[in-house]
Amino acid sequence: MSKLALVTGATSGIGKAFAERLAADGYDLIIVGRNKDRLEEFAATHTDVKVRTVAANLSTDSGVDTVAEICSGEPLTMLVNNAGVAHYMPLAELPADKARELVHVKVVAPTMLSRAAVAGMRERGEGKIINVAGMIAFSGPADKSVMPRRAVYAGSLAHLVAMSQTLSAELEDTGVQVQVLCPGVVATEFHARQGLDMSVVPRMSAEDVVTAGLRGLELGEVVCAPGVEDTSLLDALFQADLAAFGGQSPELASRYRPN
């Protein structure tokens, strides 16, 4: 039986690198993106596997619904939720349409596509879901000196971390793996589209990010941080999360009680 992967945001950067690697590994592909010409160019240069192109805008309900229908109807071996936009700016200055686009692409789309794919994967007893987030997901406690401002972007990536961790627990012992992939700064077109010059910033290649993600699946990592050498840092973070979660009580904490 052939392996089938659906990759969103597949026309450039990490998404294209995933599509390239998976094609080389013998996966048939469903590649999703806004740029029809780039999708067709990829398909034309990868004739050793079956490549289906889907031009869809995941910032719209209709785009999400179109791809979700494919996710629920096709026997996917792997789903890579990679599509993204940045829109780095303070919340008060973020235009409503850009805020809506960001939340749709990085929160609504991965949630609905995962939901559509997971039932079939669970029924077949195998499947992999990779949600591409970023280390900015862990930057919430940073003070105002940290730039650029990015409240909605950071929040959307944090959603992917929490959703992936919780979904992984829901799917334990089903044969379905879930991973959230959290690279740092990556050398792609992503920042240039936002008008940001990152040329002097050390950046990881998209190919290395993909290598980490696929190896992380083999290692059983739910949170894959390609640039973090000391994984005890992540373990400490998640243990602190669970300690805070477990430290709650139905009684009002003493600091909130009247003196």
Q: How big is the chain, counted in residues?
A: 259
Cβ density class 231-254: b for 16+ within 10 Å, e for less? eeebeeeeeeeeeeeeeeeeeeee
Handedness of CA 131, 114, 62, 50 (dihedral sign): positive
Enumerate residues 6+ apart whose C-beta is below 8 A from 229: none
Q: Which residues are catalytic?
A: 153
CB-side neighbour CA atoms (13 Å) of 194: 19
Partners of 31 in beta bridges: 7, 53
8-state DSSP, 57: -
Please check whether residue 42 is in contact with residue 93, taking contact to mean a CB–CB distance below 8 angstroms.
no
Amino acid at 43: A
Please check whether residue 112 is in contact with residue 68, taking contact to mean a CB–CB distance below 8 angstroms.
yes
- Which three-class secondary structure state does DSSP give residue 145? coil
Give CA–CA dist 229/233, Å, rounded: 9
CB-side neighbour CA atoms (13 Å) of 64: 19
Give CA–CA dist 246/259, Å, rounded: 26
Please check whether residue 66 is in contact with residue 88, taking contact to mean a CB–CB distance below 8 angstroms.
no
